[in-house]
Amino acid sequence: MNADKIRNGVAVFGAFFGLVLATVLLLSRSQPAEGAIIQICDKWGATYVAGGAYWVQNNIWGADTAQCIQVDDTNGNFTVVQSAHNNTGGTPAAYPSIVKGCHWGTCTQNSSLSVSVSQLNSVTSNWTITPISGGAWNAAYDIWLSPNLDTTNGYNGGAEIMIWLNWNGNIQPAGSRIATVAIAGATWEVWYAQMNWNYIAYRRTTPTNGVSNLDILAFINDAISRGYVQQSWYLHAVEAGFEIWQGGTGLASSGFSVTVNAAAPPSPGSPTPTPVAPTATPTPSSGSACQVAYTVTNQWPGGATVNVTITNTTSSPINGWTLEWDFPNPSQQITNLWNGSYSQTGQHVTVTNAAWNGTIPAGSSVTFGFNMSWSGSNPAPSSFTLNGQPCGGTAGGGPQPTPTPTRTPTPAAPTATPTRTPTPVAPTATPTRTPTPVAPTATPTRTPTPTLTSTPGPTPTPPPSGTHLDNPFIGAIGYVNPDWATNVISQANQTADPTLAAQMRKVATYSTAVWLDRIAAITAGRGLRGHLDEALRQMQQAGQPVVITLVIYDLPNRDCSAAASNGELLVAQNGLARYKAEFIDPIVAILSDPRYAGLRIVTIIEPDSLPNLVTNLSIPACAEAQNAYIEGIRYAVNRLRTIPNVYIYLDIAHSGWLGWDNNFNGAVNLYTQVVQGMDQGFNSIDGFITNVANYTPLEEPYLPDPNLTIAGQPVRSASFYEWNPYFDELDYALALRNAFIGRGFPSTIGMLIDTSRNGWGGCSYGRCRPTGPSSDTSSVNAYVDGSRVDRRYHRGNWCNQAGGIGERPQAAPRSGIDAYVWVKPPGESDGVSQPGIVDPDDPNKKFDPMCDPNGQSRYNSAYPTGALPNAPHAGRWFPQQFEILVRNAYPPIQP
């Protein structure tokens, strides 16, 4: 991407936003055989090269004229073979370039990026160009830094450093020249412009056509010395290419490479550097020195997405801004906001700039957006104040609900403000669930049932020690946790109904996961070694391999958008260093013990963590946890991946949370970036898991088509689905798998689905399981409510629902699905149902209003929570719910 424009022959800043969409589409194409010459003429066309170590983009972002590049996918060398550009002012037409690192939602493999600037030892690069004599162009590096690790939803601000090696025509960097410095054996002009991030350009006083071991870190350090970059920020990407305004045919790039050497992260116990953002000094805007455009971009019954654009109409920059307004309707409530922070008291709303968009240059704009709930009507505010002064505005109400609202952004001309993709309203908290280890008790007498087996056939020969299987569940039985099974058998023994008691005893033979939810869980009660020893005993008894599933669940600021499973570690109290040293490292040490090498150990990594970064960064605890979540998960995976018999699946929420187009695409972008930053890139994990501890059905058999029209409306527009096109977990999981494979993950990637509580048989919440599609077609809501097997009041209800046990654990039930698993042990609570009760073993758990049986859903106050009464803290045995889950099991439990 490039960052320069021409105005009267002077380059000024510009930004590119289409690339994140382009790479989703174009990098998903199958790659040609290595060594091929690829011609790219698509506006946003791009391709991975050198085995994924780099990628090359055509990147026509400032014009609609033709451009084609030819790329050697072995080494990334490229040539501009057609260029019809003739931009005489404004933006450059394009920035064809080669990239290493993570930027705008796409990452290269094994790049050592993103990395904290404070950890950099050296960053060097080689690059050679072939210039041309005509046209207007430059040959320049583009280097991106940010206070945040996440760059998937647009650039998060910070600094952009350009290094001009050569140029032709009447062009110059943005802003003004502020200094001349000697760096890397040459003299450079230093140019600076303050936009939505710091723009610093270094133009060589004597142009060159190539560099060898160019010291890029020296330029970063110079920018630090001028206050434009912070040591605690992250280096994300190094790009090199040609900004082209006119002509450009014949420009060629060859021999590009970047080498990043970084120190190891801080040793355990040392504080992790906290990103520091510049503090903006608010500048009052007098009179009507600004304009506000309030636009409802999408609206549905009870909810809406809104974009707000603030334009500075004065001749001076606004440094730091606070926008305030009053909603006309008391029911109008913001549920989450991006590109700023907010507070709401009654109808009064206050929005303050983010760290990176506090300055609004003269004549420029910034944009933020939010999701909201409403009832009755959704009128737009009539007036706004900016920094306490009245601000003119066009407060349009925007569109009303239509049968097919548009949510997916269309690639458009770049704008100067890095606007996040709006996120439709979605449930933000997934079930709270933290089992508490139970002291060893007598193991109930039973023969473990091999519930995680492949299609009946010959028992496979165990693989050689050290072999890492494609699907660890095939040919293995699942570990039965004696502590959980004891609770089940105890309740069965107290149940008067003999049929129900027999069903409970059958449930006790199935495999469930073991939750490592705090540091003490590693050793408390049976402890991790005790479970592994018991798994060895079960393997010896059955004469078959055993797969044991562990939930790794103790990130700092855990469950940042909920309360029932808040954890023991906090980011602000050195939580990340403790997570690594006191939680992950001991687990890895135990799992590495050679005595456990014959077990198949499946790890479920940090439920709810990355999904919160997709939708809930407006919540302070989530914003604070952003970098810690990413770094912590990368650390856990990198350490666990060193053990051959350990299998790694990342939690990716459920369809009722991330199913909307923007949430879905945002999740794919974020997870792709996080995984590519791991030591083994796409090969670091074995797959993903959906529906952990949730209740979303495996399938909605009578609602197979979200676009089916009833009474003039598609069924996905019903109040229950709120335009979310994914009604069940199977469709959602398979769509995610296809999307990840399209982004470069191996085709062997597998999906798990937690089916422990999503059966929805029997009757609950005033409805019984339907036996066919509804005959009531008077309205889309009537049809959906009569057809859906998910009987919750609201799809966002996650705490102690009256559901039913779902499909039994089984291996490879569908192509692309590694297994159905019971990660949430049936009968363990999601959260305490009333405040004021302290869990003596884990006092960090709190009361969450979503667990209040008399409360209303936080996602839509028109509906109750549906939570069951008398529930204990998360992870504690909840006999009333267990009975309901068994009675409502679907398929029914066969004793």
Contact 837, 873 (CB under 8 A): yes
Q: Is 231 exposed, middle or buried (0-12, 13-18, 19+ CB in 10 A)?
A: middle
- Residue 10, token pair as written in the block: 């002077």
- In this structure, is the dihedral angle defined by the CA atoms of residues 788, 789, 790 and 792, taken in order, positive or negative? positive
DSSP string, 529-561: HHHHHHHHHHHHHHTS-EEEEEEE---TT-STT
Distance CA 180, CA 163 (A): 13
Tokens of 552: 């790794």
The CA distance from 752 to 621, in Å, is 28
Cα–Cα distance, 95 to 305 (Å, whole number): 33
Going 400 to 406 to 409 to 410, the CA torsion angle's sign is: negative
User: Are 117 and 224 within 8 A, CB to CB?
Assistant: yes
Are β-strands 365-373 and 333-338 bridged in parallel, bridged antiparallel, or unpaired? Answer: antiparallel
Rounded Cα distance between 697 and 789, Å, is 7
**Are the C-beta atoms of 609 and 631 separated by less than 8 Å?**
no
Q: Which of 754, 818, 830, 848 is catalytic?
A: 830
Contact 753, 730 (CB under 8 A): yes
**What one-letter code names the amino acid at 532?**
L
Q: Active-site residue 830, yes or no?
A: yes
Per 3-state DSSP, what percentage of the chain is helix, strand, and coil (rounded to 5)? Answer: 20, 30, 50
Q: Which of 608, 731, 790, 818 is catalytic?
A: 608
Residue 211, classed as helix, strand or coil, is strand
Rounded-to-integer distance, Cα 886 and Cα 732, Å: 26
DSSP 53-90: TEEEE----S--S-EEEEEETTT--EEEEEE--B--SB
Which residues, other chains included, contact 775 with Cβ-Cβ below 8 Å and sequence gap of 6+? 786
User: Is residue 608 among the annotated active site residues?
Assistant: yes
Residues present in the chain in total: 895
Question: How many Å apart are CA 625 and CA 627, to the nearest integer?
Answer: 6
Helix (H) or strand (E) holding 202: strand 198-204
Catalytic residues: 608, 830
